[in-house]
Amino acid sequence: ICQVACELAVTESIEKDIAREKERLRNGQAAWDSYEPDLVPEIRRDHFDEAVKFARRSVSDNDIRKYEMFAQTLQESSGLSS
């Protein structure tokens, strides 16, 4: 997930740099004539939100049932069952 989020941020940064460069050329300005701040300086939550959509499931239904049964057993033994 972290790797995909990073890739999404880098891709967004490159796309914005290209768009900024095209705008400069349309305005007759020299290419990269001064320092320009990075338009995507960090990996944001929306990059992670998008990356999660590509994540594969790592726990089977059977394993989830086992964990749920274990949690229920712990709750019952501690007197927290409802």
H/E element, 49: helix 45-52
CB 69 within 8 A of CB 19: no
Find tokens 């914005």 and name the residue.
Answer: 16
Q: What is the pTM of this model?
A: 0.65
Residues in contact with 38: Cβ distance below 8 Å, sequence separation at least 6, in sequence order: 13
pLDDT of residue 35: 76
Environment class of 77 (CB within 10 Å of its CB; exposed 0-12, middle 13-18, buried 19+): exposed
- List pLDDT tens digits, range 26-75: 888 776 666 788 889 999 999 999 999 999 988 999 999 999 999 999 99
Task: Tell me which of 30 and 4 has the higher pLDDT.
Answer: 4
CB 40 within 8 A of CB 9: yes
